[in-house]
Amino acid sequence: QKEVEQNSGPLSVPEGAIASLNCTYSDRGSQSFFWYRQYSGKSPELIMSIYSNGDKEDGRFTAQLNKASQYVSLLIRDSQPSDSATYLCAVSTKNYGGSQGNLIFGKGTKLSVKP
Amino acid sequence: DVKVTQSSRYLVKRTGEKVFLECVQDMDHENMFWYRQDPGLGLRLIYFSYDVKMKEKGDIPEGYSVSREKKERFSLILESASTNQTSMYLCASSLLAGAGNEQFFGPGTRLTVL
């Protein structure tokens, strides 16, 4: 069974701090990695994608990928109360045709940023 | 921007009713997906489709069917609704299989079956 694991949290950080969210996955063949943000009662919103080892930065967000360790992380710098949400890690997996069309989602980490 | 729309935000149905949930995307995406999301269980894939008139079962297809007659529209059908199908239903679409296959979600339908 292919799995994506995340700590459920809640992860509580003070405003202005760095929030670090982690994710591990079991499928060594996975090629694409995504972070989604989901506010309570809303649908998931894509915030970051990463495909190769290393770091990828976008504004206050940095995604990190280590395929050898099967580990993905998301750093949020200068955390704001508006960042309070559940963050879902998603990893691509092969479908029946052999392409990486499907995603496996972790159950999410709930982040709370305290003013 | 990709836009994925779902026919209803909230829906209340009775046990045994046939329920139709519709999803439309406006970006000519090849792939469409139906998930349900429940507290503690995360997102679970019900069905997906990579082409018109094509469908594949996901992890939890029992009690559901789907229809994709046009590229932009993917319908989820609950043949005989039951209380354990009370959930948030999320539709998603993506452009192509392979790298860059990020999925974009609709707003969701919160279905309550009484």
Residue of higher predicted confidence among B23 and A94: B23
Nearest CA in chain B to A32: B99
Contacts of B98 in chain A (CB under 8 A): 31, 99-101
User: What is the rounded CA–CA span in Å between residue B104 and residue B25?
Assistant: 9
Tell me the CB-side half-sphere exposure of residue A65, using CA atoms within 13 A: 21
Say whether residue A103 is in contact with chain B using an 8 A CB cutoff: yes
The percent of residues above 70 in pLDDT, for chain B, comes to 95
Amino acid at position B68, single letter: R
| Contact call for B102 and A43, based on CB within 8 A | no
Instruction: Name residue B43's beta-bridge partners.
Output: B37
User: What is the rounded CA–CA span in Å between residue B105 and residue A69?
Assistant: 29
Instruction: Tell me: pLDDT of B2 over 70.
Output: no
Residue A100 has what pLDDT?
55
Residue of higher predicted confidence among B98 and A53: A53
Look at strands B10-13 and B109-113 and give their pairing.
parallel
Minimum-distance CB partner of B101 among A32, A44, A96: A32
Nearest CA in chain B to A106: B42
Instruction: Tell me: pLDDT of B60 over 90.
Output: yes
Instruction: Tell me: pLDDT of B97 over 90.
Output: no
Count interface pairs A-B at CB distance under 8 A: 64
Q: What's the alpha-carbon Rg for chain A, to the nearest Å? A: 14
| Contact call for A96 and B56, based on CB within 8 A | yes
Instruction: Tell me: pLDDT of B62 over 90.
Output: yes
Q: Which residues contact B36 (CB under 8 A, 6 or more apart)?
A: B43, B44, B46, B60, B85, B87, B88, B89, B90
Residue A50 has what pLDDT?
95
b or e along B9-45 (b: 16 or more beta carbons within 10 Å of the residue's beta carbon)? eebebeeeeebebbbbbeeebbbbbbbbbeeeebbeb
Minimum-distance CB partner of A99 among B90, B97, B107: B97
Minimum-distance CB partner of A43 among B33, B100, B108: B108
Residue A30 has what pLDDT?
87
Distance from CA of A79 to the nearest CA of B (A): 25
Low-confidence ranges of chain A (pLDDT < 70): 95-100
Say whether residue A3 is in contact with chain B using an 8 A CB cutoff: no
| Sheet with B64-70: strands ordered across | B4-6, B19-25, B73-78, B64-70
Residues belonging to chain B with any Cβ–Cβ distance to chain A shorter than 8 Å: 31, 33, 40-43, 45, 48, 50, 56, 90, 94, 97-108
- Short-list A10, A36, A29, CA closest to A105: A36
* Torsion sign (Cα): A50, A47, B23, B30: negative
Contacts of B99 in chain A (CB under 8 A): 31-32, 51, 92, 100
